[in-house]
Structure 1
Amino acid sequence: MKTEKIQLFDDNEHSNLYTYILDPQTSYMVYKKRPAIIICPGGGYLMTATKEGEAVAARFLSKGYHTFVLRYSTYFKERMTDLNEVPPINEQSHYPGPLIELMESIRLIKEHAEEWHIDAENIFVLGFSAGGHLAASLAVKWDDKDLLDRFPKDVFPSVFKPKGIVLGYPALDLESARANFQNHKNPMIRRQGDFLYDAVFGHDAPSKEQLDTVKIINYIREDMPSVFLWHTYDDEITSPEDSVALIHELIRHRINCEFHLFAKGKHGLGLGDEVYANSKDDINEEVSAWVNLADQWLKLQCRQ
């Protein structure tokens, strides 16, 4: 297996792509190209969650995918551990910075597809929470002119379009997510909610127009990638209602999609099993089924 940390841009040390590339030789003198998954952890655009990175990469590696973890630029350079102390701030983190980094990741992977034995036609993005917002943003804005202007003119827009996206408890509407942060019973989560708008917009009073530009449902289109989405009814931070509304809009636009709403489960479960659990609350056998469900869906997409 090839593991490597790749700094995406020379002027930004806080944006890195971690590779988990399987050996292409499956038997003696037998080589195989495999699909790839770029994983975007959540963290409210303030940080990127640990358990939504390598743990998820390892699980999908075991199912035959090359995996990549994007540690995109976030507002805090360090995790917040004290309610009264704000970590160092990364001014390069504002939107659409993380989206540009995701686009560069998919471009880089396709550029190295032959070397890494990747099936370039089957590259997916998997995102949790804010990382789900990032993945969904790419799905609807992969050919956005303002974003494309950040790249060389000879790069075709289709390079940035993933085959499909997998969303776990995604933050599809940052306005509702911030409200849920600030109403949460956990004081640390409430405090982090105070910085969400600063992280995304660079200030804490975005206009309605600015909020609308990052609301995923406003950009649903017929030529976007297929979507697999799972959420839990009990989620207190990202709204399952937003996920249901998105699925309704996808169906209305005849976008291939699959949706699972689990009856119980808190926000941020990740894999949902005991292997990477910090407490009993992190273990949810019903929710942990999402991995196999997503794998089946991904394999179906690869055959199409």
Structure 2
Amino acid sequence: MKKLKIRIVKFFKLFVLFLAISNLTQAQNQIVPLWNKIPDEIKAPDYKEKEIIKEGLVQSTSLVSIPTLSIFVPTAVKPNQTAVIIFPGGGYSHLAIDKEGTKVANWLNSLGITAFVLKYRLPSDLIMKNKNIGPLQDAQEAVRYVRENAAKWNINTNKIGAIGFSAGGHLASTLATHYDDKTYESASKISARPDFSLLIYPVISMQNEVTHKGSQTSLLGNNPSQDLIDSFSNEKKVTPQTPPTFLVHATDDGAVIPENSIYYYLALKKNGVTSELHLYENGGHGFGLGVKDTSKNWTKDCEEWLKSHGY
């Protein structure tokens, strides 16, 4: 009888522990819809989101029509009142939601930073009236949402940044240079300007000799006008008001050539914007938080940059 009681007590403790872990996970990864009403939406009942799942985790997703924010709050360390919105890459045709989303959120949490993974709409004439600005609409609204609700997570409204990878880096740099563009009707007076940008092997330019062709085609179409190309070539849109920026690229990146980061850095320098560029010898493209070669240490450099700026 005594052994039975001990087993029951042990089972109860394990059950309580399981509930605590479950609640912690849910609190750390709350998912909220970005919009009450998606701007310029075209209803397409047959347009269904497609997820690639491996070992129970969503690795990649495409055909996104309902944008969301996944919220990750630090638990192992005390939150430091900084927030970062994460834009995964994928050539504007899919989102590398695990490697360049969830894993990045967990890293930021380890620094005390509250993280928000944006599952943004991918450009498509089937679900939006103007596919050029659909992702930017989501990016602007994400910043406004976090800033408006900052008190919920004890976030300083002046410490809200953006990090983008590859095509997500293009979206983050578009946000940094087009934050004031009126892309949708809103009564909100809250600024969509991020306080800083972290751009990791980003697509920056839409100019034919520099751009990543897949991203250009997905966002601008097959034969974009020069005006449209210029508008979304973000190295041409930098001003003194562009947020401070940390840039990472590998010299041997053959998919998104390092000139993207170099040209943006030079534009920031010309406009007197605080910036730091790391060009690593090796790493190729899509190394995420770092896997091998010299680029594997970029997160340490980024941590030091964030600390030096009070983030």
Residue among 91, 94, 111 paired with 1:47: 94
Q: Equivalent residue for 1:21?
A: 73
Contact 2:89 2:168 (C-alpha < 8 Å) held by counterparts = yes
- The equivalent of 1:68 in structure 2 is 116
2:218 aligned with 1:163: no
Aligned equivalents of 1:249, 1:179: Cα separation in 2: 16
Structure 1 residue 265, shift from structure 2 partner:
1.2
The structural deviation recorded for 1:209 is: 0.8
Q: After alignment, is 48-57 or 294-303 more displaced? A: 294-303
1:217 equivalenced with 2:235 (yes/no): yes
Greater strand percent: which structure?
A: 1
Quick check: 12-21 or 42-51, which moved more?
A: 12-21
Tell me how far apart the structure 1 counterparts of residues 260 and 143 of structure 2 sit (CA, whole Å). 27
Q: Which residue of 2 aligns with 1:190?
A: none
Task: Assess, with a 3 A threshold, how the Cα gap between structure 1 residues 214 and 233 changes in structure 2: closer, same or farther.
Answer: same
The answer to whether the 8 Å contact 1:35/1:123 transfers is yes
Structure 1 SS opposite 2:151 = coil
Structure 2 residue 33 is matched with structure 1 residue 7 = yes
Which sections of structure 1, spanning at least 5 residues, go unmatched?
Answer: 27-31, 77-88, 182-192, 273-282
Structure possessing the higher radius of gyration over alpha carbons: 2
Is the 8 Å Cα contact of residues 205 and 211 (structure 2) preserved in structure 1? Answer: no
1:178–1:9 Cα change, 3 Å = farther
Letter in 1 for 2:104: V
**1:28-177 equivalent positions in 2, closer than 5 A:** 33-50=80-97, 51-75=99-123, 90-92=126-128, 94-144=131-181, 146-147=182-183, 149-152=184-187, 154-156=188-190, 159-176=191-208
Report the 3-state secondary structure (helix = DSSP H, G, I; strand = E; otherwise coil) of the residue aligned with 1:206. Answer: coil
Superposed displacement of residue 90, structure 1: 5.0
Range with bigger deviation, 15-24 or 239-248? 15-24
Which ranges of structure 2 fall in alignment gaps of 5 or more residues?
1-26, 39-64
The structure-2 alpha-carbon separation of the partners of 1:73 and 1:262, relative to structure 1 and needing over 3 Å to count, comes to same
SS in structure 2 of the partner of residue 205 of structure 1: coil
The secondary structure found in structure 2 opposite 1:6 is strand
In 2: Cα distance, 1:241 partner to 1:23 partner: 38
Task: Work out the CA distance in 1 between the residues paired with 2:116 and 2:250.
Answer: 25
Q: Alpha carbon RMSD of aligned pairs, Å?
A: 2.3
The structure showing larger relative contact order (alpha-carbon pairs under 8 Å, at least 6 residues apart) is 1
Q: State the partner residue of 1:278.
A: none
Aligned to 2:299: 291
SS in 2 for 1:120: coil
Match of 1:199? Answer: 218
Would the aligned equivalents of 1:5 and 1:17 in 2 still touch at CA under 8 Å?
yes
Q: Any conservation in 2 of the 1:24–1:117 contact (CA below 8 Å)?
A: no
**Alpha-carbon offset, residue 10 of structure 1:** 3.9
Give the corresponding residue for 1:265: 283
Superposition TM-score, scaled by structure 2 size: 0.76
Give the fraction of aligned pairs with identical amino acids, expressed as a percent: 30
Mapped partners of 2:164, 2:277: distance in 1: 15
